[in-house]
Chains A and B, each alone.
Chain A
Amino acid sequence: MEEIASLMQGFGVALTPYNLALMFIGIVLGVIIGVLPGLGGANGVAILLPLTFTMPPTSAIIMLSCIYWGALFGGAITSILFNIPGEPWSVATTFDGHPMARKGNADEALTAAFTSSFVGAFVAVVVITFLAPIIARFALKFGPAEFFSVFFLTFASFVGMGRGSASKTIAAMALGFALAAVGMDGVTGQLRMTFGYDQLLGGFDFLIAVIGLFGIGEILSSMEDGLKFHGSEAKLRLSVVLTTWKKLLAYWKTSIRSCIIGCWMGITPGGATPASFMSYGIAKRMSPRGDNFGKGEIEGVVAPETAAHAAGTSALLPMLTLGIPGSPTAAVLLGGLLIWGLQPGPLLFVEQKEFVWGLIASMYLGNIVGLIVVLTCVPMFAAILRIPFSIIAPVILVICAIGAYTVNNNMFDVWMMLVFGVIGYVFNKLQYPLAPLVLAIVLGDKAEEAFRQSMLLSQGSLSIFWANPLVASIMSLGLVMVLWPLASAIKTRFGQARSAPAA
């Protein structure tokens, strides 16, 4: 078991007092970020990224990934206590979590949510530990055509597994690719779509897009109803924690199923949000108490939380092994790797063993630290939400502006952040998905490069994408994903046509 030995070395790297302190700070910051409206995992990490430039890369990623775990935990607190999903993936948690809190079982709901999150994340980390080295070894043999096919599958999954309109997913994605193409072309050195503006030479930085789309966009949406908080008091008593844990054992089937859904959706970039909805839906259908879902059923908290955390965690697997992030937050972490001078991808497992295994070990530790922190500090975090929105909103705006500025020390970026904020607000209301847009901005250049290199190899023939069984099967799977919404649309229409004469 080579992996176990590497993991133990990783624990050696992660278990220094300095790194443990960073882990703790990261988790606390992350929970706060997850609790506050307008700050989430993706833009929270994006804003704090510039502060880590001077740290050693391993410590930096430990802190940033812990912010991510913290944000995942934090989302549950607001959903249950205030019926406000702090993060999109915790929307499904409000369905049963908030009714439980209203019935006076907030502590039980919180314990269930935190514990399920922990279980989901833990399983996903185990999956990463054993699967990542295998995938990385396998991916070392990848050529440009194989990489392009993986990119293709990544984006095709958004179309196939998205919950909204397929045209909107495709439009958002294409817009992201177009934004990524702006600036100097890496192959020919020609300027593309800059129209004589010097500021556009470097293209659009996706960190700015993340801060604008998710941060400013959410503040604008929240302002619409002049957000008011009225939540219940939260205290967690140890006795309740223990009795809830005993209860949770009965839902082991739901947990396992949700872990599988979560890991699958995280690795193929469906992401945490659809994973949580899918898991909730399936649990509702399978549970003997399915009719009670939505009225405060503990299983309705377990299912989405487990899946969301499993997905959020396993989204780091393709990021580490292939350099292809499975979620916007993973994309931001990937941006961090590049800034620290590490090239994400299969070679990372060969050349930066200490970094990779330090990170994986920190995922185990970070989630344990996280569970302890959230179980003990819930009242403190809930108190943050009693600060009026009229104070929180401008402070978050200031934080976003500073974050946008520090990415490249550039005022133009701060203006762009506001523009992206307006785009985010409008797109959100019209249900254009933001995750594919962000991932396309991040991956656009790499996908294009892989495509052009493949074309060079094949002298312009698309047959290179069906040249060997591996690339052919990934491409075909991608095509199935793209055509899925079309097929199901035809099926519904056909179904209607058949039932029409009968009616």
Chain B
Amino acid sequence: MHEQGDASDERSLVSNRTMEIVVALLLLAVSAIIISDSLRLGIGWAEGEGPRAGYFPFYIAVVLGSASISILVKAVLAKSEGLSESFVSRTSFGRVLTVLIPAIGYVGAVQFIGFYAASAGFLVLFMIFVGGESVLRSICVALGVPIFFFFMFEKWFLVPLPKGPIEALLGY
């Protein structure tokens, strides 16, 4: 997994300042959603019941909103060194995606073919294509790990995991 020290590879994808602003805006949006839902539930006092259901979330959302505004203002105005630094470079982000995208595919596959088969498939594909491991080694790990977990969960601890057509063929 040796990367070339090429300058273009290390180009920044997004700066810390941009990410700070994006996250603060997202938090602000979350706060707005909570406030609107709290207003629907009522934020006042119900006679004989105490504060209404929206009371506590409302004030939490106000706190969240003010904190995110303060982060936002700081991110926009402050001149500190760290803010103009890179949040993530293109290569690093690429590496992160090489885990994240297969992981999403894996969780999707679990729903159709069950945990054990999906895990075996994910492990072997990831190790060969992302990790660059030898095929033999990958297959050994990809078979060994699910089989170990099968015995651990289905036999010893009696915690059933979702199973698909392959396990059905084997009689489970």
**How far does the Cβ of B133 sit from chain A's closest Cβ, in whole Å?**
6
Please, which residues of chain A bring their CB within 8 A of the CB of B126?
A: 390, 393-394
**How far does the Cβ of A235 sit from chain B's closest Cβ, in whole Å?**
27
Q: A192-B37, A390-B130, A430-B19 are in contact. Are A177 and B60 (CB under 8 A)?
A: yes
Please, which residues of chain A bring their CB within 8 A of the CB of B106?
A: 397-398, 401
Say whether B76 faces chain A, with CB atoms less than 8 Å apart.
no
Contact of A394 among B52, B60, B122, B149 (CB under 8 A): B122
Q: Is the CB of B127 within 8 A of A430?
A: no
Q: Is the CB of A406 within 8 A of B159?
A: yes
Contact of B127 among A228, A390, A405, A455 (CB under 8 A): A390
9-residue interface stretch from A18-26, A107-115, A418-426: A418-426
Q: Is the CB of B99 within 8 A of A402?
A: no
Report which residue of B74, B95, B111, B153 has the largest number of chain A beta carbons within 10 angstroms of its beta carbon: B95
Q: Is the CB of B1 within 8 A of A226?
A: yes
Q: Is the CB of A405 within 8 A of B34?
A: no
Contact of B52 among A50, A188, A224, A228 (CB under 8 A): A188
Question: 10 closest A-B pairs (Cβ-Cβ)?
Answer: A390-B131, A174-B64, A171-B67, A456-B50, A224-B92, A394-B126, A170-B67, A167-B70, A185-B53, A190-B53
- How far does the alpha carbon of A226 sit from the alpha carbon of B53 in the complex, in Å? 47
- How far does the alpha carbon of A456 sit from the alpha carbon of B68 in the complex, in Å? 31
Say whether B6 faces chain A, with CB atoms less than 8 Å apart.
no
- How far does the alpha carbon of A414 sit from the alpha carbon of B153 in the complex, in Å? 17
Q: Is the CB of A192 within 8 A of B41?
A: yes
Q: Is the CB of B161 within 8 A of A402?
A: yes
* 8 residue pairs bridging A and B, Cβ less than 8 Å apart: A170-B67, A174-B64, A178-B64, A190-B53, A216-B103, A401-B115, A415-B107, A455-B51
Please, which residues of chain B bring their CB within 8 A of the CB of A394?
A: 102, 122-123, 126-127, 131
Contact with B along A356-397 (1 / 0, CB 8 A): 000000000000000000000000000000001111011101
Q: Is the CB of A178 within 8 A of B115?
A: no
- How far does the alpha carbon of A168 sit from the alpha carbon of B1 in the complex, in Å? 35
Contacts from B to A (Cβ < 8 Å)? 1, 3, 16, 19-20, 23, 27, 30-31, 33-34, 37-38, 41, 45, 49-57, 60-61, 63-64, 67-68, 70-71, 74, 87-88, 92, 95-96, 98-100, 102-104, 106-107, 110-111, 115, 119, 122-123, 126-127, 130-133, 137, 141, 145-146, 149, 153, 157-162
**How far does the Cβ of A221 sit from chain B's closest Cβ, in whole Å?**
8
**How far does the Cβ of B161 sit from chain A's closest Cβ, in whole Å?**
7
Say whether A175 faces chain B, with CB atoms less than 8 Å apart.
yes
Please, which residues of chain A bring their CB within 8 A of the CB of B92?
A: 224-225
- How far does the alpha carbon of A159 sit from the alpha carbon of B23 in the complex, in Å? 20
Closest to A179 in B: B30
Name B's interface SS.
Answer: helix
Residues of A in contact with B, size category: 35 or more
Contact with B along A439-464 (1 / 0, CB 8 A): 00000000010011101100010000
Please, which residues of chain B bring their CB within 8 A of the CB of A192?
A: 37-38, 41, 53-54, 57
Q: Is the CB of B141 within 8 A of A391?
A: yes
Give the residues from 175 to 197 in chain A that come closer than 8 angstroms, CB to CB, to chain B: 175, 177-178, 181, 185, 187-188, 190, 192-193, 195
Q: Is the CB of A425 within 8 A of B161?
A: no
- How far does the alpha carbon of A422 sit from the alpha carbon of B88 in the complex, in Å? 14
- How far does the alpha carbon of A193 sit from the alpha carbon of B54 in the complex, in Å? 10
Closest to B133 in A: A390
**How far does the Cβ of A300 sit from chain B's closest Cβ, in whole Å?**
26
Report which residue of B38, B104, B111, B157 has the largest number of chain A beta carbons within 10 angstroms of its beta carbon: B157
**How far does the Cβ of A169 sit from chain B's closest Cβ, in whole Å?**
8
- How far does the alpha carbon of A434 sit from the alpha carbon of B106 in the complex, in Å? 26
- How far does the alpha carbon of A50 sit from the alpha carbon of B78 in the complex, in Å? 46
Contact of B115 among A50, A405, A429 (CB under 8 A): A405
Q: A54-B158, A426-B19 are in contact. Are A170 and B115 (CB under 8 A)?
A: no
Q: A181-B56, A391-B141, A394-B127 are in contact. Are A171 and B68 (CB under 8 A)?
A: yes
Give the residues from 214 to 271 in chain A that come closer than 8 angstroms, CB to CB, to chain B: 216, 219-220, 223-226, 228
Q: Is the CB of B110 within 8 A of A414?
A: yes
Q: A171-B27, A174-B61, A192-B53 are in contact. Are A397 and B99 (CB under 8 A)?
A: yes
- How far does the alpha carbon of A203 sit from the alpha carbon of B127 in the complex, in Å? 36
Please, which residues of chain A bring their CB within 8 A of the CB of B146?
A: 398
Say whether A126 faces chain B, with CB atoms less than 8 Å apart.
no
**How far does the Cβ of B137 sit from chain A's closest Cβ, in whole Å?**
8
Q: Is the CB of B57 within 8 A of A398?
A: no
- How far does the alpha carbon of A89 sit from the alpha carbon of B162 in the complex, in Å? 36
**How far does the Cβ of B125 sit from chain A's closest Cβ, in whole Å?**
9
Q: A391-B141, A430-B23 are in contact. Are A418 and B104 (CB under 8 A)?
A: yes
Please, which residues of chain B bring their CB within 8 A of the CB of A430?
A: 16, 19-20, 23, 87
- How far does the alpha carbon of A171 sit from the alpha carbon of B67 in the complex, in Å? 5
Q: Is the CB of B27 within 8 A of A219?
A: no
Q: Is the CB of B34 within 8 A of A178?
A: yes
Q: Is the CB of A398 within 8 A of B145?
A: yes
**How far does the Cβ of A69 sit from chain B's closest Cβ, in whole Å?**
22
Please, which residues of chain A bring their CB within 8 A of the CB of B56?
A: 177, 181, 448, 451-452
Give the residues from 136 to 186 in chain A that come closer than 8 angstroms, CB to CB, to chain B: 165, 167-168, 170-171, 174-175, 177-178, 181, 185
Closest to B149 in A: A402
Q: A224-B88, A390-B133 are in contact. Are A178 and B103 (CB under 8 A)?
A: no
Contact of B123 among A188, A216, A398, A422 (CB under 8 A): A398
Q: Is the CB of A395 within 8 A of B123?
A: yes
Contact of A220 among B96, B131, B141 (CB under 8 A): B96
Q: Is the CB of A51 within 8 A of B41?
A: no
Q: Is the CB of A418 within 8 A of B61?
A: no
Contact with B along A316-355 (1 / 0, CB 8 A): 0000000000000000000000000000000000000000
